[in-house]
Structure 1
Amino acid sequence: MPEGQAGYTARVTQVPEPQVPEVGRDDLVKWLNDYLKVGQWPDPSLNGLQIQGTDVIRRVAASVDTSLQTLQAAADAGADILLVHHGLFWGKPLPVTGPHGQRIRTALMADLNLYAAHIPLDAHPEVGNNAMIAGALSLQNTQPFGDWMGHKIGMAGELPRELTLQDFADRVQKLTGEICLVHGGGGPIVHRVGIVSGEGSGSVAEAAALGLDTLLTGEPAHKHFHDAFEHGINVIYAGHYETEVFGVRALAARIEDTFGLPWQFLNFPTGL
């Protein structure tokens, strides 16, 4: 139609605003408690919701540790809940003073929920640290392993093919990004592997009794230094922090799959 001709009216189509997914805090906490079975595990950690914040969850942050740094980063990212492996409460009351008090104040001022899952997240068969590492290493014929107060929290299995100890350590290092400490108490070939994330050096004797040739864990303990050599198995230490990034990330991804909530991982490595 020629420019300026009367009777021509432009139409403006209103595009609806995209809906932002959200879930009630109590609904999400109940789902987490049920999914992780937090009440079934003996644990010094106070698992579950440790600090109550906003009633509605739209954004999720995940991190290994609860520190002032991680809490502030979650608040700055606009998260409504922070999922952690290592929370603030470990079996005894602490005065809300000093750094501990500052951490709590930071969460409260940001209206940030804090949810911790320690042993339940090590042991979970789908999103647990050990299950995720076993999957990343393509372990086959997996079975529960790693005794914790009468419960198995780790995982053992077989590599699809034998690897030299050096090649296996290189593979673990590529997976975690951590330079591994290797105690070569066993043979030069790796085939049957046990995994206990974090501080699992006390599982050497159990690994040897099961006929495993290698234990993969996080950090060494001095009292267990000689165990690898005396029991005749290899132990690979890949870092407490770096072996425990897997669970919180997988859990946050599962929340996104279930509720549609976006998430981000806050990475603050300790080097330990």
Structure 2
Amino acid sequence: MTLHEIDAWFRSFLRMGDYAQDPSQNGIQIQNAEPDTKQIQKIAFAVDACEETVSRAARLKADMLFVHHGLFWSREQVITGTHYRRIRAFIEADIALYACHLPLDANEEVGNNYGLARRLGLQKLERFGLWKGMTIGVKGEFPEAADLNEVLRRLFPHGEKPLSVLPFGKKTIKTAAVISGGAGGDVSQAIEQKIDLFITGEIGHEQYHEALENGINLIAGGHYQTETVGVALATEKVKRDLGIETVFIDVPTGL
């Protein structure tokens, strides 16, 4: 498949048109030299587009890098300094850059939020978390009430550590809502809906007292750690459905 054919395939199920208010420029951000003819043999996947991920993709001889956080956002940016060096690395290696931000957070099949919800074992899943007219998160119920330690064990099955845990709500948790990344401010929506636990990637100072005063449990699992889920699921889908060789490039930030 060519780059443009793969773009059409991603758009067919990621529904990028539903996220017009997304600040990310979703889709092809940097094309390869021959987007209509060159066959994509290997796709690398990563959370962030940066010098490290593109250099590792080049060493792995990938034709394309799919990321959650791309290089181009809503405002125009001059191509100087770090931004220039990153773009130059893609062009010199003839690696296409493909970004998928909010559509990858929200997708029911390969999204960060639904992926985390399934990892937790949540049932009766419903969309949750409105931002600029777009619903990007998910909420659900545990089939049996769980405590925070059990939730953390499911959330981080390989022993990863969350950034912070605020155990200010019920000891036995029945309902949870999930929005990956930097959605700490959306704890207010979980409070309004009387949800027992809110899970996101990172929170701000002000969320401590908001959670405490409203009696809700909150887990900040790490921006990076909560957003490896979608790219990993997309990696497997491409391999399974398209038969294209894939590789996941892990560049943890600790944040």
Deviation readout 1:156-212 (Å, 9 max, x if unpaired)? 011121111233223323367233411122121111000000011112121122221
Unaligned runs of 5+ in 1: 1-22
Please tell me whether the aligned partners of residues 218 and 237 of structure 1 are also in contact (alpha carbons under 8 angstroms).
yes
Q: C-alpha distance in 2, partners of 1:179/1:37?
A: 30
CA-based RMSD:
1.3
2:8 alignment partner AA: K
In structure 2, the partner of 1:149 is 132
In structure 2, the partner of 1:96 is 79
SS in 2 for 1:242: helix
User: Is 1:50 aligned to 2:29, yes or no?
Assistant: yes
| Greater C-alpha Rg | 1
Cα–Cα, structure 1 residues 180 and 171, in superposed 2: closer, same or farther, change >3 Å?
A: farther
In structure 2, the partner of 1:172 is 155
In structure 1, the partner of 2:208 is 225
In structure 2, the partner of 1:252 is 235
Q: C-alpha distance in 1, partners of 2:238/2:175?
A: 33
TM-score, normalised via structure 2 length: 0.94
User: Is 1:39 aligned to 2:17, yes or no?
Assistant: yes
* Pairing of 1:111-150 with structure 2 (within 5 A): 111-150=94-133
Runs of 4+, deviation exceeding 6 Å: none
User: Is 1:76 aligned to 2:59, yes or no?
Assistant: yes
SS in 2 for 1:144: strand
TM-score, normalised via structure 1 length: 0.88
Please tell me whether the aligned partners of residues 121 and 129 of structure 1 are also in contact (alpha carbons under 8 angstroms).
yes
SS in 1 for 2:4: helix
1:31 alignment partner AA: W
How many correspondences in the alignment? 250
1:69 alignment partner AA: E
Please tell me whether the aligned partners of residues 153 and 159 of structure 2 are also in contact (alpha carbons under 8 angstroms).
no
Please tell me whether the aligned partners of residues 121 and 142 of structure 2 are also in contact (alpha carbons under 8 angstroms).
yes
2:5 alignment partner AA: D
In structure 2, the partner of 1:24 is 2
Q: Percent identity?
A: 38
Unaligned runs of 5+ in 2: none
Greater Cα offset, 33-42 or 213-222 = 33-42
Q: C-alpha distance in 2, partners of 1:90/1:227?
A: 30
Please tell me whether the aligned partners of residues 176 and 238 of structure 1 are also in contact (alpha carbons under 8 angstroms).
no
1:78 alignment partner AA: K
In structure 2, the partner of 1:211 is 194
SS in 2 for 1:93: coil
Q: C-alpha distance in 2, partners of 1:77/1:47?
A: 24
1:246 alignment partner AA: V
Q: C-alpha distance in 1, partners of 2:58/2:109?
A: 28
